[in-house]
Structure 1
Amino acid sequence: MIGKASTLGRVLVLAGVTVVSGCAITPTDFSAADMNRINASDRQLAFAEMEPHGELISLEEAIARALKYNLDQRVRMLEQSLASGELEAGKYDMLPRLMASAGYSWRDNYGSRYSAPYTDPENLDTDLSTVDVSSEKTHETADLVLSWNLLDFGASYYTAKQNADKLLIANEKRRKAMHTLMQNVRTAYWRALAAEKLSERVGATIRDAEKALQDSVKLADERVRAPDESLRYQRNLLENLRLLESVERELASARIELANLIGLLPGTRFKLEEPAAHAKPLAVDVEQLEVRALVQNADLREQFFNARIAAQDTRKALLKLLPGISFEYGGYYDNDRYLIDEQWRAAGVKVSYNLFNLIAAPSRMKAAERNETLAEARRMALQMSVLTQVHLARHQYNDSLRQFGRADQIYQVDAQLEEVVRGRFQSNMVGEQARISANVTTILSELRRYQAMAKVQESLGRLQASIGLEPQLNSLDTTSLHELQGQIRGWLEQDVSEMVAMVNTPAEAEPAQ
């Protein structure tokens, strides 16, 4: 007995040392070489399937590239794919459990017991003739058991329904991300277009203004002009330089932002095609926009599904209050030679109930009902928020249209004034400062015109997002960039009023898949 205890002690010590040494895990940082390798691999994967761009990029191509190659958009698509996989995997949780197992058993002595009549455990007869052997030292076992729990089935059923709603929520989140991405691309495109059209003129005018400023300082030092006249002249030039530098600073980041949105590396060289700056006032009643938004707004649809998920949580809470009923049926095998039958089948039914559920039931039910009430309250609050969004987006769109029209008129007048001043300058009727001021005024007017159109595109995208309008596209994975570009072009050519009118009944409208 002492030898066996000593052996057992050594085994336990060895097992303890093994467990402790296995748990002694130290943090392992990434080396610079590993991070460079991973970054290079990620960059290669990110741009592996990207179609090369031409020298000129149109607005529809920019939107198509953003939808197809923008990395954030890819993340939303992968989230939707993950939700679809969870829905498919969750269906199998409703099946019964079919457990197969096999094993090998060993012990250092026979499993035996005394069969003498029981008198006193301390005075058992130790005659070996009264000892029965119940099992071999070594034997193999195997079994295949089918079990099914009614409560597990019910919980899995409601979980599967929740996973189905989560898939629809992922679809709505993808729609919302697509609305935001398209809105940002349209805004950034016009800002980058302004940078492309104006950067050369801004740079040339800055150089002319700096040269004129240097000449003015030189003339002031030589006392050619009166001091106050020279200082006023320099003040006007400095003010024009300040305005031009602010324009240059604002335009500098536009192309970088657009390149990031459409999936291109910063610094990629490309030119932009100026689209026709046409936008029509809304020719649809706000009531029609409200009806459309209450059915198709992505945020509101998401809350509808969240409320349904909360209702399923309430049913799952009710299910936990029921007794557990489980069924089991299986086949068993054991090659122990002391058994009369090596194979046998067994079945059983078991009912169990946690009596503490009677105490926890009221609080669980109240918590589930409050969760459902909260989800419904969020949905109702969001309905009012969506209606407010529709009215604000409609107002901002109409206002931005007016602002663009006014900015375009001012630009046309300033451009004509610049032509007049240029002609007078060539005829020596006005000085350098007047020509530079006219150039700066025209540049600022043209910049405000592009900015106004960017605001129009931004407000239009916000309006379309609020009422749930987006192009009906095929799968982005199987659609080529050229086909996607054609679909986007057709969508951009449609007027918002026409798109709303195309929906016969809001309830029949389906979101983009």
Structure 2
Amino acid sequence: MTTARTPRLTLLTSSLLAAAVLSLSACSTMTPPAMSEADIDQVNQADKAAMRKDVEPIKGPLTLDEAMARALKYNLDRRARLMEETLALKQLDVTRYDMLPQLAARLQSQSRSNDRISQSLNPETGEISEVGFISQERSHQLSDLGVTFNLLDFGVGYYNTRQQTNRVYIAAEKRRRAMHLLMQDVRTAYWRAASAQKLRDDVANTIKMAEEALADSRKLEQERTRNPVDALRYQRQLLENLRLLEAINQELLSAQVDLASLINAPLGQPIPIAESPVGNDSSTATSAPIEKLEEVALRNNAELREQHYNARVAQEETRKAMLRMFPNLSFNYSFNYDSDKYLVNNNWRETGLQLSFNFMNLLTGPMQVKLAEAGVALADQRRMATQMAVLTQLHLARLQLINARSQFNRAEEVYATDKRISELMRVRESVQAGSKLERVSNDTAAILSLLRRYQAMAQVQVAEHRLLAQLGIEPRIGSTDELSLKDLTTQVKGQSNPWQSLKAGK
């Protein structure tokens, strides 16, 4: 007996050692190597090419409508939001298949080291027969093709599908919110870039003039042709103007970079800006009854609509928890084949019906239901909190718009006054009735007034779009992937007065 078992033990030991070696080698390959600099450079180059793929170059001065259309079509963050919505749709398609019966095919090969021998028992004498019977081949193949339908899986898949459908709606609302923020940022960056383009030459010329006046003053100070204190005061005023001009210049330099990033244009490449007038008729927003604005916001606000869908997801979770407390009924039907030559019937059909119930669900089921109901209560509370936040932001956005319009009108008046003063000081300097300091100071004041005018204009645009976002009003455009940039720009331009929907009573 010991001699017969030794080869088997040796074979078993060898097999275990081989399995251990294979397991260790597999574990050693589980940790991927760190990426090399060449790999990172290759991925970066591929990403850079993908970012610029199919992006039309800017031809001619960029209008505000085209900037918004480019942002909607080419902005990388918006592309990610669209992909999230597409992924949610694909997940919905996959979830729907969970409700279908399972159709499975199996092919199995069995082999044993000795024959399967069975003996029989005489029920009258209780003796076991001395003759054994081989009831199965040492090696044989089994195959089957069967369909299984599980009623509980069908019910859970049904509610999963409903939940995933709501998640698709949630992804769409998140895309709407992202679009509102994107358009708001584009408006701000566009007017900053427009002011940079308008003020660039004036700032450079005034800086040059201030530096020349500063050099002349220092030369006169060294020659002691005037009171040193007066010269130093003169220089300090010039330096103060230079500091202000350089701060303005620094502010303007980043405007083009911000705009290029939003519309996915090459960074560092100059973008010519076509100055656009303030076109939105915000008088409708400020004159419309606040009750009407609240009604529109509660119906269309993207963030609030998202919370409505979250509440529906929580409600479906409660129904799933209740469904799991019911008995499970499953049905199966299959075609089977076994190559064993000792079988009389190698082919057969098999049908089964099974009813099962997990008695532990009597303990855990009620707790799961209570947990799901708590999730519903939390979703309802979040929706109510969001509703209050939306109404609060609506009132604040309306007040900010009124204030922004007032500030813009005041900035217009200040700029017109400073511009006239600057023109008069240039005339006085030309007839040598004024100093360079006066001209530099007045030119600086005019530049600062013009900058504030553009900033006030941008704030009007931002305030208007912030109110639009709270109301849930956005341009009605087609698919940004299917539309060309020209057609998309035309559609955005056609929606340049979004307040028209309020006038129409929508």
State the Cα deviation string for residues 39-61 of structure 1 (Å, max 9, x = none). 11111122121112113111111
TM-score between both structures, scaled by the size of structure 1: 0.94
State the Cα deviation string for residues 116-163 of structure 1 (Å, max 9, x = none). 448999x966x4xx1111111111111111111111111100000001
Structure 2 residue 473 is the aligned partner of structure 1 residue 502: no
Deviation at 1:228, TM superposition (A): 2.4
Provide the residue aligned with 2:87 in structure 1.
82
Which of 80, 101, 104 does residue 99 from structure 1 map onto? 104
For 1:489 and 1:278, locate their aligned partners in 2 and report how far apart those are by CA, in whole Å.
11
SS in 2 for 1:354: coil
For 2:9 and 2:280, locate their aligned partners in 1 and report how far apart those are by CA, in whole Å.
91
State the Cα deviation string for residues 389-434 of structure 1 (Å, max 9, x = none). 1111111111101100100111011101111110001011111100
For 1:258 and 1:44, locate their aligned partners in 2 and report how far apart those are by CA, in whole Å.
20
Which of 467, 470, 478 does residue 466 from structure 1 map onto? 470
Alpha-carbon distance change, 120 to 298 in structure 1, aligned in 2, over 3 angstroms: farther
| Residues 475, 495 of structure 2: 8 Å contact kept | yes
Deviation at 1:4, TM superposition (A): 1.9
For 1:274 and 1:150, locate their aligned partners in 2 and report how far apart those are by CA, in whole Å.
65
Alpha-carbon distance change, 434 to 96 in structure 1, aligned in 2, over 3 angstroms: same
Provide the residue aligned with 1:385 in structure 2.
389
SS in 2 for 1:57: coil
Provide the residue aligned with 2:61 in structure 1.
56
Kindly provide the amino acid, as one letter, of the partner of residue 114 in structure 2. Answer: N
For 1:320 and 1:76, locate their aligned partners in 2 and report how far apart those are by CA, in whole Å.
35
Structure 2 residue 27 is the aligned partner of structure 1 residue 23: yes
Provide the residue aligned with 1:218 in structure 2.
219
State the Cα deviation string for residues 301-333 of structure 1 (Å, max 9, x = none). 000000000000001111111122211111111
| Residues 118, 124 of structure 1: 8 Å contact kept | no
Which of 483, 486, 496 does residue 482 from structure 1 map onto? 486
Matches within 5 A, 1:357-368: 357-368=361-372
| Residues 333, 343 of structure 1: 8 Å contact kept | yes
State the Cα deviation string for residues 201-224 of structure 1 (Å, max 9, x = none). 112211211121121122122221
Deviation at 1:69, TM superposition (A): 0.5
Deviation at 1:495, TM superposition (A): 5.2
For 1:19 and 1:88, locate their aligned partners in 2 and report how far apart those are by CA, in whole Å.
38
| Residues 205, 440 of structure 1: 8 Å contact kept | yes
State the Cα deviation string for residues 429-462 of structure 1 (Å, max 9, x = none). 1111001111000000000000001101111111
Provide the residue aligned with 1:312 in structure 2.
316
SS in 1 for 2:246: helix
Provide the residue aligned with 1:111 in structure 2.
116
Structure 2 residue 7 is the aligned partner of structure 1 residue 3: yes
For 2:48 and 2:346, locate their aligned partners in 1 and report how far apart those are by CA, in whole Å.
61
Provide the residue aligned with 1:187 in structure 2.
188
Deviation at 1:279, TM superposition (A): 4.3
CA RMSD of aligned residues (A): 1.7
For 1:315 and 1:402, locate their aligned partners in 2 and report how far apart those are by CA, in whole Å.
54
Kindly provide the amino acid, as one letter, of the partner of residue 502 in structure 2. Answer: V
SS in 1 for 2:434: coil
Which deviates more, 212-221 or 404-413?
Answer: 212-221
Provide the residue aligned with 1:507 in structure 2.
none
| Residues 279, 401 of structure 1: 8 Å contact kept | no
SS in 2 for 1:28: coil
Give ranges in structure 1 of 5+ residues lacking alignment: 505-513
Which deviates more, 46-55 or 67-76?
Answer: 46-55
Kindly provide the amino acid, as one letter, of the partner of residue 63 in structure 2. Answer: S
Kindly provide the amino acid, as one letter, of the partner of residue 353 in structure 1. Answer: F
SS in 2 for 1:275: coil
For 2:354 and 2:109, locate their aligned partners in 1 and report how far apart those are by CA, in whole Å.
28
Which deviates more, 103-112 or 427-436?
Answer: 103-112
Matches within 5 A, 1:63-462: 63-117=68-122, 127=130, 130-280=131-281, 281=283, 282=285, 283-462=287-466
State the Cα deviation string for residues 5-33 of structure 1 (Å, max 9, x = none). 22122112211211121111334111111
Question: Kindly, what percent of the aligned residue pairs are identical?
Answer: 43
For 2:362 and 2:346, locate their aligned partners in 1 and report how far apart those are by CA, in whole Å.
44
SS in 2 for 1:333: strand
For 1:225 and 1:277, locate their aligned partners in 2 and report how far apart those are by CA, in whole Å.
50
State the Cα deviation string for residues 332-368 of structure 1 (Å, max 9, x = none). 1111111110111111122222222212223212211
Provide the residue aligned with 1:44 in structure 2.
49
Which deviates more, 452-461 or 359-368?
Answer: 359-368
Which deviates more, 29-38 or 254-263?
Answer: 29-38
Which deviates more, 108-117 or 259-268?
Answer: 108-117
| Residues 143, 332 of structure 1: 8 Å contact kept | yes
For 2:417 and 2:96, locate their aligned partners in 1 and report how far apart those are by CA, in whole Å.
68
| Residues 120, 128 of structure 2: 8 Å contact kept | no
TM-score between both structures, scaled by the size of structure 2: 0.95
| Residues 256, 270 of structure 2: 8 Å contact kept | no
For 1:288 and 1:134, locate their aligned partners in 2 and report how far apart those are by CA, in whole Å.
85
For 1:500 and 1:120, locate their aligned partners in 2 and report how far apart those are by CA, in whole Å.
99
Alpha-carbon distance change, 97 to 165 in structure 1, aligned in 2, over 3 angstroms: same
SS in 2 for 1:383: helix
Provide the residue aligned with 1:510 in structure 2.
none
- The size of the alignment, in residue pairs, is 498
For 2:100 and 2:457, locate their aligned partners in 1 and report how far apart those are by CA, in whole Å.
58
